[in-house]
Every structure is written in C-alpha cells, then in structure tokens.
Chain A
Amino acid sequence: MNIKKTTNTETVFFSCLKMPLTSIAFICVVSLFSIASNSYASGGGGGGGGFSSPSQSAPRFDPVVKYQEGIAALQRGDNRTAEKAFRKVISVNKKHANSQYYLGLSLFGQEKFKKAKRPFEKALKYDNKLVSAHGYLGVVFQKTKKFEKADAQRQQLIELRESCGDCNNKVKIDNALLQIDGAKQQSLLPLDVSPERGDQLYVEAVSHINQGHYLAALVSLEESASVFGPHPDVLTYQGFANRKLGNKAKALEFYQAALNIDADHRGANEYLGEYYVEIGRLDLAQYQLKKLEKICSFGCEQADELRRWIAAAS
C-alpha cells in the first residue's frame, strides 16, 4: 500500500496552535462558526436531490427561498414584502396550502380583508385541516359582515374538534373559535418554523414511510412543508406516501410539483418511474430511467432501484 505522508494538514493545525492564546480562540472560533453556517450539513435526507437534508438544499430552490423570505417578512411585520414573496411561490405551486394561508395572512395584516378571503379559501381547499386558516377566514367574514359564512367556519372547526378526539390540535381549534368570536388575537405564526424542526419532521416522515405508516408520514410532511414551503424533497415524499395509500392522482400531482421546481430531482424521477411501472406504462418508466441515468453521470441508487423495478415487471 502506498502511503505518502504530507505535513500540510499539520501545518494548518499547528499554525493555529502556535498563535498567541487570544488569537487562537478568536480565529479558531470564527472559522468554526463560518463552517457551521456554510458547509455544515445535517446530512439526513437525500430522499430527493442527493446527500443533503432539506434545510441544506433549501437555498437551491427559488420557491423555497421565496417562501422563507415571506415567513421572515411576516415575522418582522413587513406584510407587503411577505405578500410579494408568497405570490411568487404560488405562481410556481398554487396548490401549496401553507403558501396560500400565508398569503392570506399578509393581506390580512394589511387590512385587505376582502382580498385575503380567496387565499384563505384556497388554503382550505387544498388542506381542510388547516385550523388557523378556518380561524382567519371566519374573522374575514365577520369583518366583511358575512355573518352566516363566519358561522359556517365556526361549524367546520367544531366538526374538526369532534373528529380529532384527543388530538393535539384541540387547543389550536379552541383558539381559532375564540378568534372568530373576536375574543382572542391569535399569534401570527403559531408554527415552529425553524429549519432544524423542518429537518426533524422530514426525518420523522421518512422513518414513518420506512415502517409503512403512510398517514403518519403525511402529517409530518405537511408540517415540514409549512416550514420549508414547496421543497422538492418534501413534495416527493408527499407523492410517495399518497401513492402507497392508493391516491394515484394526488401522487402524480406531488411528483409533478417537485419536478416543476427541480426537473433533475433524483427521488421524484425515480418514484415517478415506479408509479409508471405500477400502472403498467413500462415505456414511460423506461423514459424515466434514461433520464435518471443522464442525471446520475456516475450512477446512483435511484437509477439502480428503478432499473430493478422495471426488470421485475418485464
């Protein structure tokens, strides 16, 4: 075995050690910090784009960046910037319930109640369980004097409360009901939107998927989506879990949404291929495989797995 010994690494470390004590602390801490914010990755995911976790790859995707920009603007009370950002996200993925909800919030924050109505309604169309959207829509109806419609939102919240049993959404539902009654101001951002939490939810979701718990996975994925916006890794697994639950049309929609944001997404291309195998379209599955082979110039697990699917079905 050919072992060459160079001393460059040592030089770097030793020069760090040889510095006067105060500057060691400073330079070494600064360099550590800069790496923590630059190349450090939690590495968990890769269900999609490669080796990174969703938080690490997030800045590669315009809609995800815009989404985060919108959330930051909402947090500092800059509703106009938030509105612009969420409109951009929606122009790429109009079925992203959380983006519709936050667009509603940014309009609500500007007291544009009539305009806020539609995005809240759309948010609920794509995810009827978004409790806060029911609350705000109810308030919008109160403010625009559509009392019957406000009542309808109240009713839906009560139904959600009944069907959820001991679920941890109960407090949120009660708050939303109080909000419609005008008794309580709901905090603007009820969700924990830290990227660490988003990654954690994503890992939770993948772990659920690996155990075949697809409904639980969808819950974690939805929460993760509320942190990251339309992130292709998350969308891909939303598609995957829906496919496993037999919701084929929904699965296809999610895969396409992921590919719309990142056409070369390895996971989305692989799972779309598997979907084609399942519906008996081996020709389209082959097309997906060809695409993956091109994306993975040095080979990848995603292409290998799809190849096995096609071989098993042929």
Chain B
Amino acid sequence: MLLARLTVVFVVGSFSPALWAEDLRRPQELAWFNNANAQLEALTQRPADCVVPLHNPKFNLGRLAFNSPRLLGGQAGRMGLSCASCHPSGRDNSDFFIEQISDKPGRADISHHFLSSHGGDAFFNPKPIPDLADVDNLRFKNRGDIEFDQLLTRLIEIEFDGQAPTAAVFYGLKLYLTQNSIENCQLPFQPVSRTLESDWLLIDDGLAALDDAIKAGDSATILFVSASMRAVLERFYRFYSINPVKSLDDRLLDMSRALESLLSNTIKSDKTAEQILVTLAELSTSLGKLKNDLRQREAQSFYNPKTAYDYLNPSN
C-alpha cells in the first residue's frame, strides 16, 4: 500500500503537503478496516440497536461513554478507538481489522501488549468480537453480577489502559449494557443507516449527562462528558471534511472550545450550579442550530453513501 502511494509521489515528482493535511482529517474509522466495502459500510451503516433507552441521564452517560475514545487510554485512546469501534450499537463488528491485533476481519487480540501497558500477554491470540446483545450466546449472563463489574474494570483499565472511570460513568455504562439485550432488538433485524441524526444522539446524551452531573456537582464526570462530547464533534468535523465549509468547521471548533471553557468554569470559578446550567442551555441552543446547518450539507458528507463511495473508489 505504501509503495503504491509512493510510486504516485515519484511520478508526480513532488510532494503535496496540502493533500496529506486533508487526509489527516478523514474519519478515523477508515483505519480499522482492510477493504473499501467494509469502510463504506462502517461510514454509512450500523447494526440495529438492541437497546430500549431509559429516561435516566445515567443511561445517556453510559451510552456516550461506550462511544467515547476518552474512556480508553494508551494506544487505543491515541488511535481514537472506543468500545463502539469494535461493538458498534453495542453489537459486533465482523469487518473490524487492525493489522497487528487481528488475524482475520471480525477478530481482535485485546490482550496484546501493543494495547496494554499493564495487562497484556505475550501471545497473539485474537478472538471473535462478540455481539454484546448476546445474539451469539457469548454474553455474560448476569450484568448485575460482581464478575461483570470486574470484567468491565479489567477491559477499561487493563486491556485498554484507561483511567478509572468515575462512579457515575461506571454505573451508566452498566445501565447501557444491561439495556443492550437480544430481547430488545428492533426489527427488521438488519443494519440501519448511520446518519448525522443517529450520531448526533450522542450530543443529546452528553447534554443530558452534563445537566445531571452539574446538578450533582460531580466535576470529574463533567470533565469526562465534555471531553467525550468534543470527541463527537471531532467526528462531525471529519465526516464533513470531504467537502469542507469553513463556516461550519469554525462553528464545530467554537463549540469544542465552548465545551472546554464550560469545564474550566465549573472547576475553577465559584459559579453556582444554576449559573453553569444557564451557560449549558445557551450551548445547547447553539448546538441545535449547528445541527440544522450540518443537516443541510449531509449529502456532501461521508454520511452519504454515494459521496463516501466516490471518495473510496477514486478511479470510478
């Protein structure tokens, strides 16, 4: 692959930094597949949900955490992997392939030393990525069990080198994973479209979780949620990089900064929860407007299968 690309560089005779700067903005999930069809499916489709959402902000927190690269550390965090990279919609991913931790698509060695600085083993032993909704009967039966807590802790802190999650994040994750069950699958039981709307759900999750954490004065969780929401904004920034519009890019960057300062306001200043909630409400309004404007350009983004297909198949 590299040599092919270099050959192009030789023929053209010069190197174009601008081209590569653009490539750096491409969706990160392109790196987790070894063929164009799988990449196209990952950008534009996702498995059907087997989750009945709860009206509980901790559930929203859990779903956001499951999709957040900030939950993981080490190489996984640096690559932008989240639980959902391997378990999209809480399910499985039969196409996932990272050269050095997979032997075949759909399999990964999550105890590889490459990912883990304190839990890895010396063997290359990739396993199939299980469907966490238990379609393959692989699921730990009792999500309420202490054993399940231990498994979750090991996954986050040992296999994926993450920081210990806050109590609220941990509880939320369990809530999400408990709701994710074969009995709750939506029919028809086929992949559904991945869209701006379906990814934006995570921003709404973040807003609900922030509201809850601000009221609880839980600054560590506020920190995690705003960092996770910024990572979701980055996803839009990347998905819209194919036909970028500067004003939209700038607003995504502004929102990211606003979330960052919301965070520092909470931690540093002596503002009351009420005052911070006012700022949050303003932020929520701006985000709503941004979503509408992004929707206008969705056809030009990677969410549109035709646009994504053309990018992935440049010779056509």
Contacts and interface: CB of A to CB of B under 8 A. Distances in A.
Interface string A188-229: 000000110001100100111111000000000000000000
B75 A47 contact: yes
Contact of A43 (B6, B41, B48, B98): B98
Interface in B12-38: 15, 17, 20, 23-24, 26, 28, 30-37
Interface residues on chain A, size class? 35 or more
Interface in B100-121: 100-101, 112-117, 120
B4 interface: yes
A53 B101 CA distance: 13
Nearest to A199: B99
Contacts of A36: 1, 4, 34-36
A109 interface: no
A1 interface: yes
A31 B260 CA distance: 41
Contact of B315 (A30, A59, A200, A211): A30
Contacts of A4: 193, 195, 197-198
A6 B305 contact: yes
Contact of B40 (A5, A12, A50, A304): A12
A12 to B, nearest CB: 5
B69 interface: yes
B171 interface: no
Contacts of B231: 298-299
A54 B30 CA distance: 15
A62 interface: yes
B152 interface: no
Choose among A2, A40, A49, A297 the residue with the greatest number of B CB atoms under 10 Å from its CB.
A40
B112 A207 contact: yes
A13 to B, nearest CB: 8
* SS class, residues of chain A in contact with chain B: helix
B30 A298 contact: no
Contact of A6 (B4, B120, B193, B201): B193
A72 interface: yes
Contacts of B290: none
Interface of B: 1-6, 9-10, 15, 17, 20, 23-24, 26, 28, 30-37, 39-41, 44-45, 48-49, 51, 53, 69-70, 73-75, 77-80, 98-101, 112-117, 120, 163, 186, 192-193, 195, 197-198, 201, 227, 230-231, 233-234, 237, 253, 256-257, 260, 304-306, 309, 311-316
Interface of A: 1-6, 8-9, 11-13, 27, 30-32, 34-47, 49-53, 55-56, 58-60, 62, 65, 68-69, 72, 194-195, 199-200, 203, 206-211, 266-267, 297-302, 304-305, 308
30 contacts: A1-B51, A1-B198, A4-B195, A4-B197, A6-B305, A8-B305, A9-B45, A11-B306, A12-B40, A12-B305, A32-B36, A34-B314, A35-B36, A36-B34, A40-B35, A41-B31, A42-B100, A43-B32, A43-B99, A51-B80, A55-B1, A65-B9, A65-B15, A69-B6, A72-B6, A298-B230, A298-B231, A299-B70, A301-B78, A304-B77
